[in-house]
Structure formats: C-alpha cells, structure tokens
Homo-oligomer: A and B are copies of this chain.
Amino acid sequence: MSRLRFRISMSLDGFVAGPHQSVKNPLGVGGTRLHDWAFALATFRAQHGMTGGEVNESTAVVEESQANVGATIMGRNMFGGQPGPWSSANPWNGWWGEEPPYHHPVFVLTHHPREPLAMQGGTTFTFVTDGIESALSQARAAAGGKDVSLAGGASAAQQYFAAGLVDEMEINLAPVLLGEGERLFDGPSDDMHGLELVRTIATPKVVHLKFARQA
C-alpha cells in the first residue's frame, strides 16, 4: 500500500514557521533558520540549480525522503499566492518557476476551485476542494504504486496527522529557538496515532527524527 510520508523542519521550541508569513517571506520571520542545514547540502543546491555544498549525514536522509515518491500533497498556504479565490488576471503558479522540482502530480488543498495547471518537467498541480481524504485518494491513485509525500505546510500536516492518516513522519529538529510563529504540535491531543520513533540521525546543525507506524 502506498504510504503517506511527511517531513518538516521544526525548531527546538516547536515552531515550523516564523511569525508574519507573507508572499515576500513565506517561511515567516526567522523561518529560514529552520532550513539552514538543508541549504548547506550539495544535494539541495543541485536540485535548485546551484553548485557546491556539503555532503554529510543529512544527505542520505534527504535522498531517502525523496525516493519512491509518486505524488505530493500540499496546503494552499505552501503553494502560496494571495489567500482567497484564484486570480485569473494575475495567476499565481507557485514558488518554483516554470519547472518545479516535483516532476510528478501535486495535489493542492484549497477552498477555491481552479483548473489543473501543467508545468514543465512533469509537475502538474491539481486543486482539490473536497477535503484531505479526497486529496489523499487522488494522490494515491496518481502515485502509481509509489508513496505520497505530504509536503506541508503546518496546517495541512496537522490535519492529516490528527486524522491518523500519516504513515511516516520525519522531523528535522533544528537546534535553534524561533520564539514565535506557527507550531506543528499545538495541543491539546497527546495522540501519536500509532507513530513511533524508529531512527535518529544527528549532525551539529540538525537532528533527524523518523517516526513510523509499526506493522
């Protein structure tokens, strides 16, 4: 069965985005500090058209997280653009330029209908207005037997986690404090929904905590 896999970077104080997220500052104030460990990697730089960078223990974690993924789900906030109905005069086609790095079907959770959007390199954005379970069904069907990646943001991740639909969760814990912003776990539930810590890999910049549902 195709698994729903979710990964997110979180600060020591539990934030997955800084405060005051905007089109100019999608990760919120200070939010890029959650991802410094990734920005430094050669594998990340290569995927974004840059050279150089490090190869370290995080490299294998990133490569593993990207392997065997046939479709992606993301929330409207992560896809970006102004909130509310989609503008046809000035369409927002995501953060990633003409050729997004997904190269497979991407399902965007939204309250506002929109026609599918085909980009270069095999990425298509399908806008789903009838809920998280519908998006998951569509993503599983599109994944062709591979897994589905839940890309975020925090709200989409919280909804799938709370519904018990996440099969694997990788938390990249950055050893920094943000002080404010958007928390991944904001109570009041203590339910891990069957996920258990199965692997930890640490570098001085990040601690990768992998949780999975035990068979």
Chain A interface (Cβ < 8 Å from any Cβ of B):
12-14, 30, 171, 173, 175-180, 183, 185-192, 196-198, 200, 202, 204-205, 207, 209, 211
Contact = CB atoms under 8 A, between A and B. Distances in A.
B191 A177 contact: yes
Given A200-B200, A204-B196, A204-B198, A187 B176 contact: no
Given A190-B177, A197-B175, A185 B30 contact: no
A186 B180 CA distance: 9
A189 B177 CA distance: 7
Main secondary structure, interface of A, reads loop
Nearest to A200: B202
Identical copies in the complex = 2
8 contacts: A12-B209, A14-B185, A173-B173, A175-B209, A177-B191, A180-B188, A200-B207, A207-B207
A190 B14 contact: no
A196 B200 CA distance: 19
A176 B192 contact: yes
A12 B211 CA distance: 11
A200 B207 CA distance: 8
Contact of A207 (B186, B198, B209): B209
A190 B12 contact: no
Nearest to A178: B190
A205 B200 CA distance: 11
